[in-house]
């Protein structure tokens, strides 16, 4: 069983589903305009103040593109007074002045997403010419003004040959860490799954061949680091739905911030309590020893098996022959 | 023979740096400390957590006495040098600061 926290210290929010890019794989199915149901900036400010009062000390903010949310910098400055803040962005809106503004707002860390180590690969996903150079420039600006900066890459068939180049690029730019993330069957990624998803063996081969440059840290959640982080995860998406984890957004709702508080949902939502308890059918001993949790990621376990207690097929020891390059029928878009 | 040299005076007073927020996580036996002036989140072990809580403006001698008393309750002991070393660590992280005394204020203004 997992540790039982009485209140979450860390929360992730998807503050908007507006984004200037048109990524083929977008998990949030984002568009150029914010959706009418999104929480307003005033509602977010009120919610974030409540989170801080309820014991949250680390706030991860993503989108869409967070910088498109009107009033975002003021919200960030307000949040950063009492919480360690992280902002996940594709970086195309971060020039030197915006990097300074983020620093001055007190941001703790910025995570810049790219989908490859070259313009053609990245922009095949984003559909936005020039977006790769803009993302790279963002990292340069952030590092130059002293903001702790990571680069993130969702591993796909198209960018697998470029992951090493990305590590080298990130090290050269002065990023502190690179996170290689698994591809989740969410949003638009489902529509092109067979085109972009790799079988697990190819994913492991890619990761196994990496040489991490000195001074750079590689973050990855495959074996032996496949963790079941539901015990401490808390997340809210743009329309206020409390989903526990951003990767569970299509599968669960533990309530909505317009009608409850996150802490109340944490204490009373039945499914959230089940997920946090961490009961699983099987567990990888290596990952459990390394991560202190059992069974691996619940989002991918549920996506492929339809059971909250199922083994995570992204772990080599729990895969059971599941072909991750093929989506289960029930996840196929209509 | 080892001679330990104190880095602080017994009358030096300590408190949390302005804006620092402590978030105990007793379920995991640690405390998170956020330092907004240098944005970072630190995980404090129980000893560091206790020292941070004791740093409420009181002098080193009182902090060391209360810390030693707490250690004794669990069958341990704490040397002044250990308390000082831990305080130095908290100061370096920007969690605890030494209060300016009239003497140091005078020297800073000189």
DSSP notation for A202-268: HHHHHHHT--PPTT-EEEE-STTS---GGGT--EE-TTSBB-SSGGGTTT----BTTTS-HHHHHHH
pLDDT beyond 80 at B22: yes
Of A82, A83, A84, Cβ closest to residue B40: A84
Classify residue B98 as left (phi > 0), alpha (psi -120 to 50) or beta: beta
Residue B26 DSSP SS3: helix
Whether residue A257 contacts residue A15, with contact meaning beta carbons closer than 8 Å, is answered with no
Cα–Cα nearest to A170, from A119, A133, A221, A216: A216
CA angle at residue A183 from A178 to A185, to 5 degrees? 155
Cα–Cα nearest to B12, from B46, B63, B82, B85: B63
Angle between helices B46-54 and B80-92 (to 10 degrees): 80
Whether residue A276 contacts residue A231, with contact meaning beta carbons closer than 8 Å, is answered with yes
Backbone φ and ψ for A235, nearest 5 degrees, come out as -150, 150
Q: Does A106 contact B39 at a Cβ distance shorter than 8 Å?
A: yes
Whether residue B47 contacts residue B91, with contact meaning beta carbons closer than 8 Å, is answered with no
pLDDT beyond 80 at B24: yes
Confidence band (pLDDT; 50, 70, 90) for B5? low
Q: Is A87 on the interface with B (CB under 8 A)?
A: no
pLDDT value at residue B6: 76
Whether residue A149 contacts residue A112, with contact meaning beta carbons closer than 8 Å, is answered with yes
In angstroms, what separates the C-alpha of A3 from chain B's closest C-alpha?
7
- CA-nearest residue to A58 within chain B is B41
Q: Is B40 on the interface with A (CB under 8 A)?
A: yes
pLDDT value at residue B10: 86
Question: In the block, which residue shows the tokens 């809210």?
Answer: A236
- CA-nearest residue to B36 within chain A is A81
Q: Does B34 contact A57 at a Cβ distance shorter than 8 Å?
A: yes
Whether residue A226 contacts residue A291, with contact meaning beta carbons closer than 8 Å, is answered with yes
Q: Is A179 on the interface with B (CB under 8 A)?
A: no
Q: Is B46 on the interface with A (CB under 8 A)?
A: no
pLDDT value at residue B25: 97
Whether residue A310 contacts residue A281, with contact meaning beta carbons closer than 8 Å, is answered with yes
Q: Is B43 on the interface with A (CB under 8 A)?
A: no
pLDDT value at residue B23: 98
Whether residue A79 contacts residue A85, with contact meaning beta carbons closer than 8 Å, is answered with yes
Angle between helices A119-126 and A131-144 (to 10 degrees): 110
Confidence band (pLDDT; 50, 70, 90) for B93? very high
pLDDT tens, B29-72? 999 999 999 999 999 999 999 999 999 999 999 999 999 999 99
pTM attached to this predicted model: 0.94
pLDDT value at residue A259: 97
Tens place of pLDDT per residue across chain A (334 aa): 678 899 999 999 999 999 999 999 999 999 999 999 999 999 999 999 999 999 999 999 999 999 999 999 999 999 999 999 999 999 999 999 999 999 999 999 999 999 999 999 999 999 999 999 999 999 999 999 999 999 999 999 999 999 999 999 999 999 999 999 999 999 999 999 999 999 999 999 999 999 999 999 999 999 999 889 999 999 999 999 999 999 999 999 999 999 999 999 999 999 999 999 989 999 999 998 888 888 899 999 999 999 999 999 999 999 999 999 999 998 887 7
pLDDT value at residue B2: 53
DSSP string for residues in A267-283: HH-HHHHHHHHT--S--
CA angle at residue A304 from A300 to A310, to 5 degrees? 75
Whether residue A79 contacts residue A59, with contact meaning beta carbons closer than 8 Å, is answered with yes
pLDDT value at residue B106: 42
pLDDT value at residue B109: 37
Q: Does B32 contact A57 at a Cβ distance shorter than 8 Å?
A: yes
Q: What is the 3-state secondary structure (H, E, C) of A64-133?
A: CCHHHCCCHHHHHHHHHCCCEEEEEECCCCCCHHHHHHHHHCCCCEEEEEECCCCHHHHHHHHCCCCHHH
pLDDT value at residue A1: 66
The DSSP symbol for A190 reads G
Residue A178 DSSP SS3: strand
pLDDT value at residue A145: 97
d(CA A180, CA A198): 14
Tokens of A189: 């990624």
In angstroms, what separates the C-alpha of A269 from chain B's closest C-alpha?
20
pLDDT beyond 60 at B1: no
pLDDT value at residue B102: 55
Burial of residue A25, with CB atoms counted within 10 A of its CB: 0-12 exposed, 13-18 middle, 19 or more buried: buried
């Amino acid at each position: 069983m997992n540790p039982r926290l009485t209140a979450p210290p860390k929360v992730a929010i998807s503050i908007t589903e507006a984004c200037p890019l048109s990524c083929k794989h977008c998990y949030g199915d984002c568009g150029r305009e914010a959706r009418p149901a999104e929480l307003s900036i005033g509602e977010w400010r009120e919610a974030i103040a409540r989170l801080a009062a309820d014991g949250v000390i680390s706030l991860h903010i993503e989108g869409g593109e967070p910088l498109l949310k009107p009033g975002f910098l003021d919200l960030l400055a307000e949040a950063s007074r009492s919480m360690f803040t992280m902002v996940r962005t594709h970086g195309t809106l971060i020039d030197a002045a915006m990097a300074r503004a983020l620093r001055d707002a007190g941001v703790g860390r910025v995570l810049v997403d790219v989908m490859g180590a070259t313009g053609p690969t990245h922009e095949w996903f984003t559909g936005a010419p020039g977006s790769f150079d803009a993302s790279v420039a963002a990292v340069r600006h952030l590092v130059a003004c002293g903001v702790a900066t990571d680069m993130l890459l969702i591993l796909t068939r198209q960018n697998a040959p470029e992951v090493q180049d990305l590590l080298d690029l990130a090290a050269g730019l002065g990023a502190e860490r690179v996170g290689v993330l698994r591809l989740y069957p969410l949003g638009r990624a489902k529509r092109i799954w067979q085109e972009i998803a790799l079988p697990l063996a190819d994913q492991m081969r890619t990761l196994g061949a990496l040489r991490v440059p000195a001074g750079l840290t590689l973050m990855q959640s495959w074996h032996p680091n496949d963790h079941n982080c539901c015990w401490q995860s808390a997340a809210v998406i743009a329309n206020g739905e409390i989903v526990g984890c951003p990767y569970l957004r299509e599968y669960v709702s533990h309530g909505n911030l317009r009608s409850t508080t996150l802490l109340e949902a944490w204490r009373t939502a039945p499914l959230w309590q089940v997920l946090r308890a961490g009961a699983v059918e099987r567990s990888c001993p290596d990952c459990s020893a390394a991560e202190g949790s059992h069974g691996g990621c619940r989002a991918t376990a549920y996506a492929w098996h339809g059971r909250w207690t199922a083994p995570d097929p992204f772990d080599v020891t729990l895969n059971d022959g599941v072909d991750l390059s093929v989506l289960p029928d029930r996840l196929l878009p209509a | 023979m080892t001679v330990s040299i104190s880095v602080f005076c017994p009358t030096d007073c300590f408190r949390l740096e302005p804006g620092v927020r402590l978030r105990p996580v007793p379920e995991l036996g640690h405390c998170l400390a956020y330092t907004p002036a240098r944005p970072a989140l630190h995980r404090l072990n129980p000893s560091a957590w206790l020292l941070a809580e004791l740093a409420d403006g009181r002098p080193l001698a009182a902090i060391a006495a209360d810390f030693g008393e707490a250690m004794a309750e669990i069958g341990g002991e704490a040397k002044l040098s250990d308390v000082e070393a831990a305080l130095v660590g908290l100061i370096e992280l920007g969690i605890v600061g030494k209060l300016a005394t009239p003497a140091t204020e005078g020297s800073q203004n000189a």
